[in-house]
Structure formats: C-alpha cells, structure tokens
A and B are shown apart, each in its own frame.
Chain A
Amino acid sequence: MTTAPPAPPVPSRALAALRRDRGFVTGAVIAGLMVLVALTAPLLAALAGQDYTTYHDTLLDSARGGVPIGGFGGISGEHWLGVEPGTGRDLFARLVYGAQVSVGVAVAATFLEVLLGVTVGVAAGLGGRWLDSGLSRVIDLVLSVPVLVMAISLLAIVPQDWPRPVLLAAVIAVLGWGGTARLSRGETLSLRTRDYVAAAQVAGAPWWRVARREILPGLTAPILTYAALLLPTNMVVEAGLSFLGVGVRPPTPSWGQMLSTATTWFRADPFYVFLPALMLFLALLAFVLVANGLRRALDPRQRELTR
C-alpha cells in the first residue's frame, strides 16, 4: 500500500536554478512591474493628475490634422508622455489603463485556458477508451479552429452591452484551450503508467482523488511552463483583436487599440506609435523570458539529468 511520493510542484532545486537565471529574473521583474502598473492604474493616473477620457483640444494643431503641439507627441510637465493626436487625451493615463486590459485579459484568458485544458486533458487521460477518443476529437477540433478569424466573428455577434474585457478573455480561452488539453492528456497517459498511480488505482481510490493527488502534482511543471508561453500569445491575440477594432469599446484604451489608431499617425506623430509598441514589446519579452526560465528549471528531461 505504499505509494511513492510524487515530485513536489516546484522543487527547491528548481527555485534555486531560477534565482540564478538572469534572463528569468529580468523577465520576472519587468512582468511584475507590468502587473503592478495594471493593478495601480487609477492610482498612477491620479498621481499624474490625468484621466484617460478627457479631451484636451487646446494641445492639438487642428490645421495640421490634429497632431499634438510640441515635440515628442506634446510631452509636458502635465502630460508625461504627451497626448493622443486627434483627441488630446493623456497618453500616460491611456497607457497605464491600457495595461489593465492587455495584461488583465491575457492573464484571465490564460487562467481559463489552463482550467479548461487541464480538466479535459486529465479526464481524457484517465478516462476509458470511448471518453478518451471522444474528448481527443474535441481537442483536435479546437486546435484546428483559426483563433483570430473565429474570435472576430464571435465578438462581432455578441450584444454590445456585455463587458468587453471579460468577453475577450472568455473568447480567447474558449478558442485556445486545445494545446493545454493535449499536453495534459499526454502527460496524464505517461503518469498513469507510473507505479504510484497504478498503486493508488488498485487501492480503490476514486478517479477524482487519483487526478488530484497523483496526477495534478506531476502536471504542474509542464503546465506552468506552457501557461507562461500562452500568456504572451494571448496578449498578442488581444492586441490583434483590438487592433482590428473588435476588442474593447471606446473610450477604454488597450495597447492594441492604441497601436491601431497610431497607424494613421506614424509619420506625423511617430512617438504615439512608439509608446504602445514599446509596452507590448517589453511585456512580451518579459513573459517569454519567464517562460524560458521556467522551462529550463522545470523541464522533466532536464530534471532527470540533474537528478
């Protein structure tokens, strides 16, 4: 009746490796800052004395199409990053509020994808032949759906008064859980052949206990790594949807939406393009660094080698 204890989720050895990984630390710090900015957006905007909706018409050169007056997109003591061409809305406020949408939607979508993917994947892996092949076909179907095209059509048909950020996260998750599910199923299939899992099953543990006590801990490392890679992907999808105009509704800002408006201004006011592009670039870089660090520290194959 003895069962070998499953590997702890994140071994202390891995933590130590992560701490030594300069790429991971840099990524984690930037990502942490992004999340902090998103969480404290109202506070930061208040600190700057600005909000993201007020128009400042006097700061624009209307005769030249509405470009901000002054260098670098109209940077001043009041408008730290200048103002938006065409409206005069404060760019600092829009950028930090944009972080809420970009980071928030990406995190929520990733969380939902993991929840959905792991549930289906583990069920397929542990279930019988029929359940497995049934769920596997569903996973195949989800994986074969072109995410952007499908998301555009889904977002176009829902009523407008639904809260957009929640909707965006839900749509991205519903269309994107296939990968997590397939990964979870594969890992579960390999884990269930392990002695300790077999022992638990022989001992008569119900399937849900097996899943929770024996399988999930073993899944943590690969799923964590995979989720860290999903996060930047989801951020790009959100930016893409907002860029195409089916994302958040005005006047809510998001980096993708800012990038979209900026395309008409990139010669007249290049600084405006630069801001959301830089933020997206930094966020993506940070999350990819984190994911790579996690993979290096947690990859089972590498773990085997270090054992």
Chain B
Amino acid sequence: MRRFVPIVLTATVLLAGCQGGGGGDTTTSGAAFDPKTCQGGTLTVLNQGGITHLDPARLYTSGGGNIPSLLFRTLTTRNRQPGEAGAKAAPDLATDLGTPSDGAKTWTYHLRDGIQFEDGTPITAADVKYGIERSFAPELPGGAPYLRDWLDGAASYQGPYKQPEGIKAIETPDDKTIIFKLSKPEGDFPYLATATQFAPVPKAKDSGTEYEKHPISSGPYQVESYEPKKSLVLVRNTHWSQSVDELRYACPDRIEVTSGLDSAVINQRLVTGAGGDANAVTTDAVVGPEQLAQLGTGSELDKRVTRGEFPSTTYLAFNTKKAPFDNPKVREALSYAINRTSVVNALGGSAVVGPSTTFLPPQKALGYQAYDHFPAGDTGNPDKAKQVLAEAGLSNLSIDLAYENDDSEGIGPKVASAIQEAFKQAGVTVKLNAIDAATYRDVTGKPATQPGLALATWGADWPSGGPFLIPIFDGRQIITAGGNFNLAQYNDPAVNTEIDAINALTDPAAAAARWGALDAKLGALALVLPLTHEKDVYLVGKNVKNAYADGWRGQLDISRISVK
C-alpha cells in the first residue's frame, strides 16, 4: 500500500501528495478470462505497509486506492484498464462523469439506481454529501486536501460534528442528485471525485473516530475483521451485485491482507508460492534485485509479473533563493553534469526506474512532451558542465546536498552518493547532508530551513498534468509556514495565469497538451533537475489470474484478479 496510506506527513500537505495514474501492460495467465465465472477462493495480500486508518475520510489514495476501492464506491472511479484507457476516470456511483456548468465552476452528478450499503439501505445523495463533510472534521485528518481549496466557502468548515448545518456549496435537491459549487473553474473535478472522501457514509452509522473499526461498505466486500497496521479480512457484501457495478469483478470470495512484512520476504514467498502463497499478491513490494536477476525473458517467473508505471519523478530541487543556485548557470552546469545511469542503478536498475530529462513523467495522460534542454547523455557531460561554469566565472564550486538518511523512499544515501560522484567529474565538490527521514519533508518544506539543494520526489494524485505541476511551479503555492512543495520558490505571474487557464478546461486532451507545453517551457529555466521516473514490477502468486497493472497507478488492480 505504498500509495494507499503513504502520507502520514500529509497533515501539512496543501495540494497533492503522491498518487496518480500511468500506463501499463497486461500479463494475463491462462485462456480468455471471463468475469462471470471467476468467482471463488481466498486471495492473500502480503504487504509491507499496514493500513493505519480504514476511514474513507482519512485515506489518501490515488483513484480510490487498491483495497479501499473494494469497500468504498465513489462518485467516479478509475477506469480499471491497462494502458491509456486506464488513465481515464469512469462513473461509479454516478451515472456519468458529471456535468460541468458555469465554466466548470459547477458540477452536477446523478446517482445510479439499485445501489445499497452492506445492510441493504439504499445509498442517497445525502450520504455522499455527509461523507465529504466528515472529511473536513479535524478529528478525521489525512485525506486529500483539494476539496477545502476548491469548494466555494468551505475553507474554514469544521466538519459535521461541530457544524451540523453542513457545506452550502454541496447541494442535494433530491435523493439522486448532488451538485458541487466551486470557487474557481476546475476541469479535473471528475478525477478528484475518485477519492475515498467521495464515498457515501450513512449518518446513522457514523461513530466518528470509531467508524473505521467497521466502515459501512458500498462495494463488493465488507470488513470481517480489522487490526490497524496488521491485518484486514474482507468477505462478500451480499447487497452488492455485478449488475450495479461493471468495473469491479470481485472474483475471490474472501480476501486476507497481512501487513508489516519485509519486502524481500514477500517476494521470496511469492516466488516459492507454497500453500496459500500460491494465491497471493502484493500491492507495495516491488521486486528486488534477487528476483530481477531471475526474470529472464520467457522464464516461469516472467509470466507472473505485472509491469506498470506510476507517474512519479525523482529530482534534485534547487532553492533559487539561495546562492549559488540563484545563478542559472550553476543550475545548468549541474544539469549537464548529471549521470542518470548511475542514479538509475542506485535505485534498482532500468527494470524499476527510467532516466528522466523532463519533470512530467512519460505518460500521455499527463501531457508528457519530450525535451532535453541540457543534454547530459546517459552518463553525464562533465566537460560541458565545466565549460558553463568557467563561462560564468566559477571554479572550485562546493555545494551541500540534502537527502534522507534512509533509502526506502528512493532519495537516500545510494542516490546521493551517485550524484556526488557525477558532480565530482565536473569539478564540483558535494558535501553530503543526511537528514532524518522522519523530518525530511518538514525541513525541506519550510522555506526558512530549506537547503539549497535537496533530493525530492513527486507523484500525481490523478493522471493529469495539474496535480503534477501546480504544487511545484505555481508561485501562489509557496507556503512559508511549512508544507511547501514549490522548492524552487519560483513565482512568475504569467505561469500562474496559464495554470488558471488550463484548470478551466474540461477536455482532458486539450489540458494535457498545454500542461506538456508548460512543462517544456519551465524545463528551460532549470528550476529542477529531473533524474528518474518510476516503473513498477510486481510479482503475483502461481495461481493468480487476470493480474495486470491499471493505467492510472501502474499497480495491479485487486478488484479484477481471480484465484479460482
């Protein structure tokens, strides 16, 4: 569940976190798969990260998440398909992706017929509204922060426990209709409506912080037992049927999630596939070097692999307010000097990461446009870097590089050492500044304490260029109190205006083209030094069928796999 509850730190995150979409390809074992006859068996999920909260208000997911999506249906959800088709939103509880009006400032949804909670009560628009209002309660923190920013006049709403009158910007004229009034045009609203905050919650069953012990399901499964961070057992919800939900196949009769396992252990168990492990998958343990070495083309193991790409970029963040990075020549020289091959190897090799010269990862849905403004080749161009530095009259440059003291997030000592060595070739001395992983984002996210040069990662909350570029380059998003992601501290009114203009577009394709162009334009300023983008390679158990990575997150979608 790397992306499922990843952000304990997001209490301070204002816009975006770490979730989003991508392309992927299929690995389907066996003959033609029929969702009508796939039912039966017990699926085991072996994970590293535990589910700390199971409350739909508190989950921070991409496209509804993997396991949460089995319990919570939302207004829209990700279109559960591989490749580009999967990077689109699809109607879930709603009949369509929503009707925009008033220049994308008003969004209207109608609920489909026949939808019920696990106790048989019909799901109404008021339940959806109540679910959203709960996510504003300070007692239930952790969800994506967008709604507070987008909904008109909701910025200071304190949740239904303190303010039972609710949010005025959400209207429910009847049981089937729900209308959202926004403070500014937001063409991406159908993407946001995939978040678990858009799951219905019956007010009568709401027990505040206790609700997560047994959240009322609207999806194909319901909770049998749940122990935070350790285990979760799901059984069928008899009030759900395929006739009201075409997207989830819900093949296994029972799903058992075990968390807190070591990545190497998980992958070894999947390889061996003894006993129940033959019916096992993982949603957060990417294969390690041991398995990669065995993944020869055509090998038995190779057939049990799902490959996808979660849109995420690892990059070096320049603080352009701090010397020497206020000098564009320094940023350009370092961009020429970087050796992306050694960074790729430090992160696990070309099977799990790819080199990036653009800030947007290579997904069409995000508007990716190829560019390489400061060609460094595969292994860096130290001569060109030296030349740029010499032209700027700089020699014997010595800089500090901040990174996490732990490699688990991919911005740790291994990558830092590779960068140190690459810059050394260009005559730049790098002093390593390891920061405790637990406080890393606090230090880098506060302009007062932000180092001049820091390793950073960014992932999209949904497959669109907006959540990828806005927090990083919108000058109005510079947050001095902490939780800042505009690490370049770049503020150009022209760029801000362009961002507003793209936000008003409701056609994803038109928006994507302009996000891509904006990224290419910003890239020429060398505000960030893109290093790599992520690829996901997951193993599944011997007996697992129809396992593929969906195009939204590049991860295998539990709602469609079978162990029969």
Residues of A within 8 A of B (CB): 53-55, 57, 60-67, 85-88, 160-161, 245, 249-251, 264-269
Contacts and interface: CB of A to CB of B under 8 A. Distances in A.
A265 B417 CA distance: 18
Contacts of B293: 64-65, 67, 267-268
Contact of A251 (B290, B349, B352, B417): B417
B140 interface: no
A62 B349 contact: yes
8 contacts: A62-B345, A64-B289, A64-B292, A64-B349, A66-B289, A66-B345, A67-B289, A245-B405
B414 interface: yes
Contacts, number: 95
Interface string B344-379: 111011111000000000000000000000000011
Contact-residue size bin, chain B (C-beta under 8 Å from the other chain): 20 to 34
B440 to A, nearest CB: 14
B292 A57 contact: no
Tell which of B339, B342, B431 has the most Cβ of chain A within 10 Å: B342
Contacts of B417: 87, 250-251
B341 A62 contact: yes
A256 to B, nearest CB: 15
B288 interface: yes
Tell which of A55, A85, A87, A266 has the most Cβ of chain B within 10 Å: A55
B75 interface: no
Contact of A57 (B379, B413, B434): B379
Nearest to B352: A65
Contact of B345 (A86, A245, A267, A269): A86
Nearest to A160: B434
B414 A249 contact: no
Contacts of A60: 345, 349
A156 B424 CA distance: 27
Contacts of B379: 57
Interface of B: 264, 288-290, 292-293, 295, 339, 341-342, 344-346, 348-352, 378-379, 405, 413-414, 416-418, 420-422, 424, 431-434
B342 A55 contact: yes
Given A63-B351, A249-B434, A87 B289 contact: no
A62 B344 contact: yes
A267 B290 contact: yes
A196 to B, nearest CB: 56
Contacts of B349: 60-66, 86
Contacts of A250: 413-414, 416-417, 420, 432
Given A250-B416, A250-B432, A268-B290, A57 B421 contact: no
Contact of B424 (A53, A67, A265): A53
Contacts of B431: 161
A57 B339 contact: yes
Contacts of B295: 64
A265 B434 CA distance: 24
A53 B342 CA distance: 12
Given A64-B351, A265-B290, 6 more contacts: A55-B418, A57-B339, A57-B379, A61-B349, A65-B289, A161-B431
B264 A264 contact: yes
Contacts of B432: 160, 249-250
Tell which of B352, B417, B431 has the most Cβ of chain A within 10 Å: B417
Nearest to B431: A161
Counting from the closest, the 4 A-B pairs by CB-CB distance are A65-B289, A65-B292, A268-B293, A62-B350
Chain B interface secondary structure, helix, strand, loop or mixed? helix
A251 B424 CA distance: 12
Contacts of B292: 63-65, 268
A55 B339 CA distance: 10
Given A55-B342, A63-B349, A64-B351, A264 B289 contact: yes
Contact of B350 (A53, A54, A63, A160): A63
Nearest to B264: A264
B414 A86 contact: yes
B291 to A, nearest CB: 8
Contacts of A88: 342, 345
Tell which of B264, B349, B432 has the most Cβ of chain A within 10 Å: B349
B350 A87 contact: no
A65 B351 contact: yes
Contacts of B351: 62-65
Nearest to A60: B345
Contact of B421 (A53, A62, A85): A53
A45 B165 CA distance: 75
B421 A251 contact: yes
Contacts of B405: 245
A269 B413 CA distance: 21
B450 to A, nearest CB: 18
B293 to A, nearest CB: 4
A264 B350 CA distance: 17
A264 B421 CA distance: 22
Contacts of A53: 421, 424
Contacts of B339: 55, 57
A135 B413 CA distance: 42
B393 to A, nearest CB: 28
B344 to A, nearest CB: 6
Contacts of A245: 405
B421 A54 contact: yes
Tell which of B264, B288, B292, B293 has the most Cβ of chain A within 10 Å: B293
Tell which of B345, B348, B416, B434 has the most Cβ of chain A within 10 Å: B345
A267 B432 CA distance: 31
A269 B292 CA distance: 12
Contacts of A66: 289, 345-346, 348-349
Contact of B342 (A57, A85, A161, A264): A57
Nearest to B289: A65
Given A53-B424, A62-B350, A87 B344 contact: no
Nearest to A53: B421
B420 A251 contact: yes
A85 B434 contact: no
A54 B289 CA distance: 22
Contacts of B421: 53-55, 251
Nearest to B413: A250
Nearest to B420: A251
B424 to A, nearest CB: 7
Contacts of A160: 432-434
B345 A265 contact: no
A54 B339 CA distance: 12
